[in-house]
Structures are given as structure tokens and as C-alpha cells.
Amino acid sequence: MAAPKVELRPLRSDDRDRLLIWRNSPEVARYMFTDHQISAAEHDHWFTGIEGDARRAYWIVNVDGAPAGLTNLYDIDRGSSCCAWAWYLAEPSVRGKGVGGCVGYLVIEKAFDEFGLGELSCEVLASNHRARRLYQKFGFREEAPPRRRVLKNGALEEVLELGLRAQTWAAVRPQIHQGLRAAGFLDD
């Protein structure tokens, strides 16, 4: 069975409604740092705020030509050569097929090659073991002991901060690239 074709395309205005549905779905909300249902007004305020913001870049994750998730770089600081990364796969049918690994590879490549940055960070709930393993595979390391907790389902949960430097990525990239190529995600 062939690997799904994974592509990142820039976020468009016609994605607005899809993102609200995705973000409020239980499968996505369980890994976010808030529990409340996002209202249309709150979502519209957020969506309008990201348009034209040079410190953010958003892409829809297309899998076999269909929208399946969202990924972004934010807090892009070219002066300090760093930014943060976030993502989710909203369509349950694409999970568990290696798509997340391909998305991670593509976004990390954008951060270090296309944007020319030197460091990438991310945050993850301590209970999100699958994402933590993926980040570690890519060379991310915990930056410090957890300094923040969020209220999830009535309980406080630690938020882990992870970081990846361009030099570390350069060392692990060949192995990641080879694995994705062998799995059929990359052609080159």
C-alpha cells in the first residue's frame, strides 16, 4: 500500500469554517491547551488577526489532495533566528499512517531552510506521548523543567517546552529523510 501524498498549502480565507469545526472536534481539542468550545466570534477574531501577520505562517495539511489538518510557525523572530511550531491532524482517517512524521519533516525544513532560522520550539501536553516521541525522534529536547500547567478536563496538566537547533536537525535529518523516503512519503 502506497504512502499517502502529504502536502502543505498556504491557509486561505475559505478554510475559516473548516478550522472552527476541526478545532472544536474532541479529537483535536483533547490536545489543545484550552477546553472550551470556541465560538464563531472568537474564531473570526483569531482568523482576522493572523491575516498579514509576518510573525506567523499557516498551512493546511493536504493528504491525498484533501484537507486533513493544520500546521504553523508562530512567534517568528528573524532577529533572534527562532520561532515556534504547532500542528494537528483533524481527520481521524489519516492518523496512524505516518502522516504526522511527514508533516513534521516538511515544517522543520521550512523553518530551517526556507525561513533560514536557527532554532525551533514547540509545546506539548505531558500526556501527549505520541507527539513527544515524534519530537524526540526529530531531535527536539526538553528545554527546562515544566514551568506551566493548563487546566484540562478539570485537572492541571504540565506543558512541556521542547527545542530543536538547526545543527541538531542537520545531524538527524538524513535518517529522517531516508525513513520517509523508504516509506514512500518523499520522492527525492
Q: What is the pLDDT of residues 9-56, one digit of tens each?
A: 999 999 999 999 999 999 898 888 888 899 999 999 999 999 889 999
Residue 1: the pLDDT is 64
What pLDDT, in 10s, does the model give residues 108-161?
Answer: 999 999 999 999 999 999 999 999 999 999 999 998 777 789 888 888 999 999
DSSP per-residue string spanning 26-87: HHHHTTSS--SPPPHHHHHHHHHHHTT-TT-EEEEEEETTEEEEEEEEEEEETTTTEEEEEE
Specify which residues 82 forms β-bridges with.
77, 119
Give this prediction's pTM: 0.92
* H or E element in which residue 163 lies: strand 155-165
The confidence score (pLDDT) of residue 148 equals 85
Select from 133, 131, 115 the least CA-distant residue to 123: 131
| CATH class, 6-182 region | alpha beta
| pLDDT value, residue 60 | 98
Residue 163 vs residues 6, 72, 139: alpha-carbon distances, Å: 24, 16, 8
pLDDT of residue 35: 83
Lowest-pLDDT range of 84-88, 89-93, 145-149: 145-149
pLDDT at residue 188 tops 80: no
How many secondary structure helices (H) and strands (E) does the chain include? Answer: 6, 8
Check residue 151 and give its pLDDT: 86
Please tell me the predicted confidence (pLDDT) of residue 183. Answer: 94
pLDDT at 84 over 90: yes
